[in-house]
Chain A
Amino acid sequence: MVRIGVDHGLCVGNAMCVATAPGVFAHNEHRQSTVVDAGGDPAARVLEAAANCPVSAIRVMDSETGRTLFPPEPGARS
């Protein structure tokens, strides 16, 4: 399982995350992305959605280890 955070100070409602992982992300009343079900799509989809965010507003963590899966740590190779 993954833990997902969306920074609403950054989110511009580009909706590419909703298009990429519709089981996980949906728009709220401000048309910003929110997580409706962190397990709604496979983790690979969630990571793809995070990478597709044009303003890097999505953070993905491993819920067991707490390790950040996206954005990649500086210098880390994925």
Chain B
Amino acid sequence: MIARPYASFARLRERDPVHWNEKFGLWVVTGYDPVVWILRHHELFSSAVIRGVEGAPYPPVLPEDAPLFDEVRTFRADQLVEQDRPEHLEQRKTVHSFFTPTAMESWRPFVRRAVDELLDELWPRGRMNVVTDLAAPLPVRIIARLMGVPREDMDTLRGLADSILHLNRGEPDRLRPLTEGIRGIVEYALPFVEERIENPGDDLISALAQGETDGVFTRHQVLVNTGLMLFAGHETTMNLICNGLRAFIEHPAQWDRLRGDPDRFARTATEECLRFDPPVKSTQRIVAQEAELCGKTLSPGERIRWIIAAANRDPSVFEDPDRFDIGRQPNPHLSFGSGIHYCLGVALARIEGQEVFRGLARRFERFTLETDELCYQPSIQFRSIESMPVAWGVPA
């Protein structure tokens, strides 16, 4: 179910697109139209999920670590993504204009250079672990630059980013590295926030800090959302790179098509990677007001989780949905969501994906997977490959 979920998702979507799961006590929505409907009716479905979680964390954690969960909850409850309107709109406005497609386009040359630097260094080696050598370092380098922190802090920031990735892990001992990462980013960001409240620049931390000056954010919210930007731009981009490259390795004809004209196909290929094996498999809300959906009645307080990975392969919207086709157009996948919570970093993610696949296609003729089986993090939310060793031929 974790490694190869698509057949099960398809069965559920065909049989019962809005399904009550008795075991976990939540709604599971897999049809494209109902998912869009939910996403566009934010007043019926609350994003304040973490505040409503009662009792012990799931998956279970070490008993002695249980007190750390409150710290995680306090951190997450102040994140922009956990807010509803009206607070959400005012908070989102503080950073929304930073991430517009036009604003992000001016960062493309920097992203391209960062990709070139990494790939030029990797190419002569003949092999890499895609997760640790390419997918993890690249997004942190870019988000650090957007935040306007010094380049020599890169290792510190990468360490923190790696710790915060435990938000998405299932190991019983995950709360320790996670809380270390949470405390670390708050401590790291504090002097930058203090400085930029005094002397604002055009960087992302300044935009968040301006929110405090304007009375939209508390100091804690500024710090927490700095951590959110680091996390949200990290894991998701990692998954886009790894899942996309896996699709290309398994569909060599599509790889050859991309290699034939990387500039032409980089954009649609990135969208197809996002649709075919999305970085975020599913997200959740709490029902806030009674709602009718596909003949079912959803009641306030019930949990609801929709499966982006299932909706993205709904045959009522996508022709031949299990086919990986890098020229697919239009491609209205739901990998960035929809509605008022639509991914803030969408334009940056697209540029990163386009530049990575373009850069790979221009250099590498063929990748071979150096493992029989790819393992995934045991997460219902993220589609994260744990380790991805690949090799390629380098002329002697």
Contact = CB atoms under 8 A, between A and B. Distances in A.
Interface of A: 9, 12-16, 19, 30-31, 51-56, 71-72
Contact of B340 (A14, A53, A55): A14
19 contacts: A9-B332, A13-B40, A13-B340, A14-B339, A15-B339, A15-B340, A16-B96, A19-B93, A31-B40, A31-B41, A31-B339, A51-B97, A52-B96, A52-B97, A54-B96, A54-B99, A54-B343, A54-B346, A56-B101
Given A19-B89, A31-B40, A54-B347, A14 B342 contact: yes
Contacts of A54: 96, 99-101, 342-344, 346-347
Given A13-B342, A51-B97, A52-B96, 11 more contacts: A12-B336, A13-B339, A31-B40, A31-B339, A51-B102, A54-B100, A54-B101, A54-B347, A55-B342, A56-B101, A72-B102
A44 to B, nearest CB: 14
Contacts, number: 49
Contacts of B83: none
A61 B341 CA distance: 28
A30 B93 CA distance: 23
A12 B342 contact: yes
A19 to B, nearest CB: 6
Which A-B residue pairs are the 8 nearest by beta carbons?
Answer: A31-B40, A14-B342, A12-B338, A13-B40, A13-B339, A12-B342, A56-B101, A54-B346
Interface residues on B, range: 20 to 34
A54 B41 CA distance: 18
A16 B85 CA distance: 13
A71 B330 CA distance: 20
Interface in B120-149: none
A66 B337 CA distance: 34
Interface string B94-109: 0011011110000000
B229 to A, nearest CB: 16
Contacts of B40: 13, 30-31
Interface residues of B, dominant DSSP: helix
Contacts of B39: 13
Contacts of B97: 51-52
Nearest to A19: B89
A45 to B, nearest CB: 13
A31 B43 CA distance: 12
A53 B92 CA distance: 13
Nearest to B343: A54
A16 B340 CA distance: 8
Contacts of A16: 92, 96
Contacts of B100: 51-54
A13 B101 contact: no
Contact of B330 (A9, A14, A15, A72): A9
Nearest to A15: B340
A13 B92 CA distance: 15
Nearest to B342: A14
A71 B102 contact: yes
Nearest to A27: B40
Contacts of B101: 53-56
Interface string B38-67: 011100000000000000000000000000
B285 to A, nearest CB: 16
Interface core residue of B340, B343, B346, B347 (most chain A CB under 10 Å): B340
A19 B326 CA distance: 35
A31 B101 CA distance: 21
A55 B339 contact: no
A19 B339 CA distance: 13
A9 B330 CA distance: 8
Interface string B344-384: 10110000000000000000000000000000000000000
